[in-house]
Structure 1
Amino acid sequence: MKLVTVREGERHSIGIIKDNQVLHLAAIHHLYVSSDHNEVPAFLSDMKIFIEQSDKSLPYTTELVNFYENIEQKGESGYQDAAIPLAEAEILAPLSQPEKIICVGLNYFDHCRETGMEPPASPVIFSKYTNAIIGDKQAIELPVNSKEVDFEAELAIVIGKEAKHISEEDAEDYIFGYTILNDISARDLQFTDGQWIRGKTADTFAPIGPGIVTRDEIRGPHRLDISLTLNGEVMQDSNTSNLIFSIPYIVSFLSQSMTLKPGDVIATGTPPGVGMGRDPKVWLKKGDQLAVTIEKIGTLSNPVMDAEK
């Protein structure tokens, strides 16, 4: 399944992308139970709850999608509100309040070389905060205190259940799915400070989305093409087969120190081609358009603008 969070007026709702449409699960739920007054399960309105209750939410979502496909095949009328064209949907960040956004730095050999850093002996870990989260089509804001803002296309893991002290062999069982994260970075702040937090977690510095693809649809997460374009020009073009530390290793490694919770997001590092590694260097500017594409997941697109002073 490709799950998204969509805005319906003042409410948020969970949707499924299918055949260039977004199926509104709450609307289909009302059709399914034949009552507008039937209470919508909480997991159909909040992605974090959906993930926490995936033992119930995933089977029920399958029921709803099958039901909708059956009535659609019969050509029954009156169900137009249950699906809208993908191009018309207002898709938000799939998760707005994960407990943790954990990022792995220097996790592609070629990226280490372009930054002039040695490949690490163990994962380099830093974090972002929820103030940095934006969704597809939302604008990245250039901070007033930085002139060297960069881009980093990354495959991100979404944790599905609580994980503590788990083995590498068992790690996959704790993954709910995968999404895209663009690790926007203010390089001047990152390296002036001597640690990375301020340069990594400014407002809007964690575009995520457009959706979460469940684990069952991505059986080979280490064989995915990953690319980033800036104003239509390819800047990053690689494959997750080039990761230094594998996804199971990362999940296990982190779980030895911290309890991972459902909905936690782990960005797995960026391939070569970032702006700071180029000659001349390429920094983001007002009016730029970024697009990150990962095979089987989709494309996360964001414009760039100046932050309001």
Structure 2
Amino acid sequence: MKIARLLRQNMETYAFVNGEKVLTRESMTSQTGIPIPQSIKDFLFDGWYDEIKSNVKNMSYNENLSDFKFLPPIPNPSKIICLAFNYKDHAKEQNLIPPDEPAIVIKPRTTLNGATSDIVCPSFVSKLDYEIELAVIIGKDCKNISEKEAKDAVFGYMILNDASARDIQAKDKQFTRAKGFDTFAPCGPWITSADEIPEPQNLKMTTKVNGDVRQNSSTSNMHLKVYSIVSLLSKAMTLEKGDIISTGTPAGVMLNKPDAIFLKDGDKIEMEIENLGKIQNTVRFV
């Protein structure tokens, strides 16, 4: 299933997506008589999703996706965890060896941004960069779990752009502020449930800036794989339902390149991961 969080006429909802049609929360309630909760997190992780999913085949997708604006699929995760240098091709272009345990950055939830919303960057940033990443949505609270158990803890996947201010990163000698500006985590366009992605380690991924391909890789290039990442992180911290784990970016970013072409005002970024859709964002400097 594909589940999107949406906005229409300043009213928030969520919906199952099927092509260009959606089945909204309100329509689910009217077609089943079941009082679906308003919170998408309650719906996804507290049993309602499983109950409704079995009835979806008998329901009508009766509204147009084009009538809505995308919101970040998860509004208020307790954690957004991003891995650094987890792709072999990216580590190689930085003359690094991928670490055997997760090297992580925590992004604040105020970075979350919709799949078609603007990335709003302060004018004092001079080196804005992009990073396409496969993001994992945790579906249950877990601690000290195995890789096998980690598979059951993954609810689904989405695209996340781990936007980064490289000049701030160089100045601070660490990542948090550089990756922590508001709107610096466009994501979505929806959550694709894990049962639709049985093999998360073989997904094509591309980034285009103004139509030019900048990143062209595959999740097969990950050093630490998805279930290993979840297991290892759970040994350091409790993972909670709704947490987002962004699993690193492949080669093609502008970091440390002598001929780097950083993002400019008005640049259009399109990111696509196989079977997960696309996110399309415009850069605005203010």
TM-score of the aligned structures, taking structure 2 as reference length: 0.95
Q: Letter of the aligned partner of 1:217 in structure 2?
A: E
Max Rg structure: 1
- The total of aligned residue pairs comes to 286
Q: Distance in 1 between matches of 2:69 and 2:125?
A: 30
Match of 2:40 in 1: 47
Contact 1:150 1:284 survives alignment (8 Å): yes
Match of 2:132 in 1: 153
TM-score of the aligned structures, taking structure 1 as reference length: 0.88
Cα deviation, residue 277, structure 1: 5.1
Match of 1:22 in 2: 22
Cα deviation, residue 9, structure 1: 3.2
Runs (5+) with no aligned partner, structure 1: 70-81
Q: Letter of the aligned partner of 2:76 in structure 1?
A: Q
Equivalent in 216, 219, 226 of residue 198 of structure 2: 219
* 1:35-184 alignment runs, 5 A limit: 40-42=35-37, 45-53=38-46, 55-63=47-55, 65-69=56-60, 83-184=62-163
Q: Letter of the aligned partner of 1:5 in structure 2?
A: R
Match of 1:200 in 2: 179
Match of 2:170 in 1: 191
Contact 1:276 1:282 survives alignment (8 Å): no
| Larger proportion of helix | 1
Q: Letter of the aligned partner of 1:140 in structure 2?
A: I
Contact 1:137 1:300 survives alignment (8 Å): yes
Q: Secondary structure at the match of 1:169?
A: helix
Runs (5+) with no aligned partner, structure 2: none
Q: Distance in 1 between matches of 2:265 and 2:196?
A: 36
Label 1:219 to 1:305 Cα distance change in 2 as closer, same or farther (>3 A).
same
Q: Distance in 2 between matches of 1:83 and 1:204?
A: 31
Q: Secondary structure at the match of 2:110?
A: helix
Q: 1:17-40 deviations in whole A, cap 9, x for unaligned?
A: 11321221322321332xxxx8x3
Q: 1:10-67 deviations in whole A, cap 9, x for unaligned?
A: 432110111321221322321332xxxx8x321xx322212321x332331441x223
Q: Distance in 1 between matches of 2:100 and 2:232?
A: 13
Q: Distance in 2 between matches of 1:49 and 1:144?
A: 38
Q: Secondary structure at the match of 1:106?
A: coil
Using the TM superposition, name which of 280-289 and 21-30 deviates more. 21-30
Identity of aligned residues (%): 37
